[in-house]
């Protein structure tokens, strides 16, 4: 009797809190069928970060500093090893060194304030980029000379195909020029060259408040000239060795934010009083979600059939500017063994990206929307031992430097309900 009362109370509570049930006439007498829509199930959320992120396979350079009151402080630097010159030219006695320049090319993406003055320093490494498995991470580090061999300070337009030229130390340039001019073994043997120039790191300093994505071909260009009645300018380029001896290093400081627990833990559960989380692409920060009371749905009537399940994800109003939201947010599934599968596909088997809709009037209805029927069907049949969690994560290369604050999610279940009358 108590069980019957419980089921009746749960059914009428769901009916009262959700869409009005609709009577269906095309069934046998003795049945009371309804279409019921439930959207009040709560979710448990946790935010997760990896101990480290593999970056030696990155085909770009991240450089900058950015501080956000919601998500913390980010610093990004780039490390690279260089190849010896491809060819050693025959220089005549009139050859004269002019300058040595580090060229950094824009790749259009950024995270932060583009009006910020960008301040960079270039440093020579004092140890070779090496590891036992030749894999390098955002946490990898190699010592470098604290005295920079080049500096840059100025504005930068990341969407205009702009580039940065850092004038390098004159003494360093003249030494390299002499080695090339005399065709020294140092510049004709790669191992000896790597011992002479172990590598370079580019770091942001000062009031920089932006992280840029640059192309990873950060060339060192030597300018010299020869006098044949008129002086003729010539160049020699040094190119980075590339993967795996080129990687991005970045650190994050969450102190003073709602996510301060990530300083000492990989995963933190979000308390009920904190109704938002954040996603970040380059650092692979993601969110895990699990819906409370989902299995009780089956108890509201004698027969319940799930027709459709949609997940609505909404960013915090006022936390983003036009064009700054990720165009893609993917959903994955994480099982009890922490294996992640996905991303979830739609009914046409294409990857779901959230179909971002932007409410240009008030922002209240800006949202990402997903069909998660298959996931909910599995969870309705699951037990505590094999239940799975949803993983919410930014996707798409164009969203590499995107961060989004999320504070509203809604699970919308549409069901066909048969309440037996006998």
Contacts of 298 (CB under 8 A, 6+ apart): 304, 380
Instruction: Check residue 111 and give left, alpha or beta (phi > 0: left; psi -120 to 50: alpha).
Output: beta
Task: Please report, for residues 214, 311, 422, the alpha-carbon distance to residue 157 in angstroms, rounded to integers and kept in the order given.
Answer: 12, 38, 73
Evaluate if pTM is beyond 0.85. Answer: yes
Looking at the 3D structure of the chain, how many domains does it have? Answer: 2
Q: Determine the pLDDT at residue 153.
A: 96
Q: Are 300 and 366 in contact (CB under 8 A)?
A: no
Q: Which of 206, 231, 253 is the last residue of a domain?
A: 253
Given 253, 287, 314, which residue is the final one in a domain? 253
Instruction: Please indicate, yes or no, whether residues 236 and 98 belong to a single structural domain of this protein.
Output: yes
Is 260 part of a structural domain of the chain?
no
Task: Say if 258 falls within a structural domain.
Answer: no
Whether residue 346 sits in one domain with residue 209:
no
Q: How confident is residue 365, by pLDDT bands cut at 50, 70 and 90?
A: very high
**What are the beta bridge partners of residue 121?**
151, 203
Pair (227, 332) in one structural domain: no
Q: Are residues 284 and 370 in the same domain?
A: yes
The residue to which tokens 């969690």 are assigned: 389
Q: Label the pairing between strands 286-291 and 340-341.
A: unpaired
Q: Do 337 and 401 belong together in one domain?
A: yes
Domain shared by 237 and 270, yes or no: no
Domain boundary among 203, 230, 253: 253
Residues 213 and 73 in one domain: yes
**Same domain, yes or no: 202 and 306:** no
What value does the mean pLDDT of the chain take?
88
Indicate if 67 and 192 belong to the same structural domain: yes
* 299 within some domain: yes
Which is more confidently placed, 240 or 19? 240
CATH code of 314's domain: 2.60.120
Residue 259 within any structural domain of the chain: no
Confidence of residue 21 (pLDDT cuts 50, 70, 90): very low
Start-to-end CA span in the chain (Å) = 16
Nearest to 411 by CA among 298, 309, 293, 316: 309
Residue with tokens 């699970």: 411
**pLDDT band at residue 198 under the 50/70/90 scheme:** very high
pLDDT in tens, 292-336: 888 888 777 778 889 999 999 999 998 888 889 999 999 999 998
CA distances 183 to 125, 227, 302, Å, are 23, 20, 88
- 70 with 146, same domain: the answer is yes
Tens-place pLDDT, residues 237-258: 999 999 999 999 999 999 988 8
Residue appearing with tokens 């000492």: 264
Parent domain of 196 = 60-253
Instruction: Establish if 384 belongs to a structural domain.
Output: yes
- pLDDT digits 0-9 by tens, 81-126: 999 999 999 998 899 999 999 999 999 899 988 888 999 999 999 9
pLDDT at 220 over 60: yes
User: Do 283 and 335 sit in the same domain of this protein?
Assistant: yes
Residue 82 included in any domain: yes
State residue 250's pLDDT score.
Answer: 96
Give CA–CA dist 118/204, Å, rounded: 7
In a domain, 215, yes or no: yes
Instruction: Please classify residue 37 by burial: count the beta carbons closer than 10 Å to its beta carbon, then call 0-12 exposed, 13-18 middle and 19+ buried.
Output: middle
- 378 & 273 share domain: yes
Residue 253 to residue 74: CA distance in whole angstroms: 7
The percent of residues above 90 in pLDDT, for the chain, comes to 66
pLDDT at 419 over 90: no
Residue 55 lies in a domain: no
């Amino acid at each position: 009797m108590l069980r019957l009362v419980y089921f009746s109370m749960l059914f009428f509570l769901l009916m009262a809190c959700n869409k009005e049930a609709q009577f269906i006439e095309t069934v046998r007498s003795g049945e009371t069928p309804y279409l019921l829509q439930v959207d009040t199930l709560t979710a448990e959320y946790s935010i997760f970060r990896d101990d480290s992120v593999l970056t030696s396979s990155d085909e770009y350079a991240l450089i900058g500093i950015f501080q956000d009151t919601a998500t913390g402080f980010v610093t990004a630097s780039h490390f690279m090893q260089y190849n010896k010159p491809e060819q050693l030219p025959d220089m005549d006695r009139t050859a004269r060194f002019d300058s040595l320049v580090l060229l950094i090319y824009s790749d259009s993406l950024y995270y932060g304030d583009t009006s910020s003055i960008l301040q960079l320093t270039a440093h020579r490494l004092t140890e070779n980029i090496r590891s036992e498995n030749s894999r390098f991470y955002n946490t990898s580090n190699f010592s470098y000379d604290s005295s920079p061999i080049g500096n840059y300070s100025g504005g930068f337009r990341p969407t205009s195909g702009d580039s940065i030229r850092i004038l390098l130390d004159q003494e360093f340039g003249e030494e390299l020029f002499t080695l090339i001019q005399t065709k020294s073994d140092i510049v004709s043997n790669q191992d000896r060259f790597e011992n002479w120039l172990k590598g370079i790191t580019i770091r942001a300093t000062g009031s920089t408040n932006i992280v840029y994505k640059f192309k990873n071909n950060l060339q060192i260009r030597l300018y010299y000239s020869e006098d044949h009645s008129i002086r003729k300018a010539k160049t020699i380029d040094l190119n980075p060795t590339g993967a795996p001896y080129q990687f991005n290093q970045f650190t994050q400081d969450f102190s003073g934010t709602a996510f301060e627990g990530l300083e000492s833990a990989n995963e933190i559960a979000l308390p009920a009083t904190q109704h938002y989380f954040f996603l970040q692409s380059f650092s692979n920060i993601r969110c895990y979600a699990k819906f409370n009371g989902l299995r009780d749905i089956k108890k509201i009537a004698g027969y319940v059939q799930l027709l459709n399940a949609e997940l609505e994800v909404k960013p915090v109003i006022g936390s983003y500017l036009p064009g700054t939201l990720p165009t893609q947010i993917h959903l994955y599934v994480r099982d009890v063994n922490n294996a992640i599968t996905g991303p979830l596909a739609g009914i046409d088997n294409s990857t779901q990206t959230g179909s971002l809709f932007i409410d240009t009037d008030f922002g209240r209805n800006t949202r990402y929307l997903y069909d998660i029927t298959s996931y909910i069907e599995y969870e309705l049949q699951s037990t505590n031992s094999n239940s799975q969690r949803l993983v919410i994560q930014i996707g798409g290369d164009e969203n590499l430097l995107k961060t989004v604050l999320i504070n509203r999610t809604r699970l919308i279940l549409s069901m066909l309900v048969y309440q037996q009358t006998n």
